[in-house]
Amino acid sequence: MTETASLPGIHHVTAITADAQMNVDFYCGVLGLRLVKRTVNFDDPRSYHLYYGDELGRPGTILTFFAWPGAHQGRIGPPQVTVTSFAVSPGSLQYWSERLTARGVALEPIYERFGDEVLGFADPDGMKLEIVTTRNPSGKPWTSGAVEEAHAIRGFHSVTISIEGYEKTAKLLTGIMGFSAEQSEGNRFRYRARSEDGFASIVDLLCVPDSRGGGMGAGVVHHVAFRTPDDAQQDVWHKRIISEGFNVSPVMDRNYFHSIYFREPSGVLFEIATDVPGFTVDESPETLGAALKLPQQYERLRESIEGYLPPLRLP
């Protein structure tokens, strides 16, 4: 891979919720993220696609949800992204323990992993989340959210991918995508993207050959996206991944980034998304997430779509 084609870490994670308002209440009201875009699923315009992140929805902070009302409960297990982890500053876990407990969120005991403190819990759909202290925090927490700035989420720390056998996925990460093998603990193997500041750059592979397989539904991650700066670099990745024998989608215009998709050897859906143009392409920074934004092909159906979608209120 040429030096001009970089892949510095996670762009976004996309999951499924059965209740859009419940989702907004939790991620904005409890976790303090900003709703940076309310739009529709480009393949299913009668359902919301909600985006959360920092003030501008910078790559590495973006958690998105397909909101499918009444979706059945998914089953978390391999091959899936089974845990999505957020980064916070050192000394923040007591604050988060108290905040989440006060809001009725069941917590797992705090423990140490690779030298960082980890607090595990689940969102209202059952999606597994973690808050992880990071010794050299980067990212820019949203200063106008529900969480005080000193303890606010700064973006992703990592994702955990559970798979039956990790070797082929590890080969993809290190041999094609430019990650480095960093360390391991038991059946957990850590890989880090080449990134100047280490922001949102970690993928943990969890080898669980005896676990029950997962099934798609509410509370389950649909895919993980990795970032590349622009269209030219995405084209390099597209050609490289095809040359390695993977089936890769055509480039898809998602309005706020351009995407290609492929499945890693265990079957988890990977995406490579561009950093540009970003979420301010159709809204000002001050008004992000305030209005329903539709892709051009659905504007003619706006009245029908707005009549079908339930109203959303910010907490």
Query: What confidence tens digit (pLDDT) does each residue in 244-290 have?
Result: 999 999 999 999 999 999 999 999 999 999 999 999 999 999 999 99
Is residue 1 predicted with pLDDT exceeding 60?
no
d(CA 168, CA 189): 13
Q: What percent of the chain has pLDDT over 90?
A: 94
- Around Cβ 199, how many Cβ atoms within 10 Å? 26
Is residue 2 predicted with pLDDT exceeding 50?
no
> What CATH number belongs to 9-308?
3.10.180.10
3-state secondary structure (DSSP) of residue 65: strand
Is residue 3 predicted with pLDDT exceeding 70?
no
Per-residue pLDDT reduced to its tens digit, 135-155: 877 888 999 999 999 999 999
Q: What is the residue type of 253?
A: D
Q: Which pLDDT band, with edges at 50, 70 and 90, does 310 fall under?
A: very high
Per-residue pLDDT reduced to its tens digit, 87-128: 999 999 999 999 999 999 999 999 999 999 999 999 999 999
Pinpoint the alpha helices (H) of the chain: 20-24, 93-102, 167-175, 231-243, 302-308
Per-residue pLDDT reduced to its tens digit, 190-223: 999 998 888 999 999 999 999 999 999 999 999 9
The per-residue pLDDT for 135 is: 80
d(CA 107, CA 123): 11
Tokens standing for residue 57? 């929805």
The per-residue pLDDT for 136 is: 73
Q: What percent of the chain has pLDDT over 70?
A: 99
Is residue 183 predicted with pLDDT exceeding 80?
yes
The DSSP annotation for 256-267 comes to SEEEEEEE-TTS
Is residue 4 predicted with pLDDT exceeding 90?
no
Query: Tokens 């890693």 sit at which residue?
Result: 264
The per-residue pLDDT for 5 is: 85
The per-residue pLDDT for 138 is: 80
The per-residue pLDDT for 139 is: 85
Query: Which among 232, 221, 219 has a CA at the least distance from the CA of 271?
Result: 221
Cα three-residue angle 246-252-256, rounded to 5 degrees:
125
Mean pLDDT confidence for 290-310: 96
Mean pLDDT confidence for 19-23: 98
Query: Which among 106, 117, 142, 164 has a CA at the least distance from the CA of 33?
Result: 142
d(CA 236, CA 19): 38
**Torsion of the alpha carbons at 56, 139, 2 and 14, rounded to the nearest 10:** -60
Sheet containing strand 188-192, strands side by side: 111-113, 116-122, 128-133, 80-88, 156-163, 202-207, 188-192, 180-185
Question: At 203, which helix (H) or strand (E)?
Answer: strand 202-207
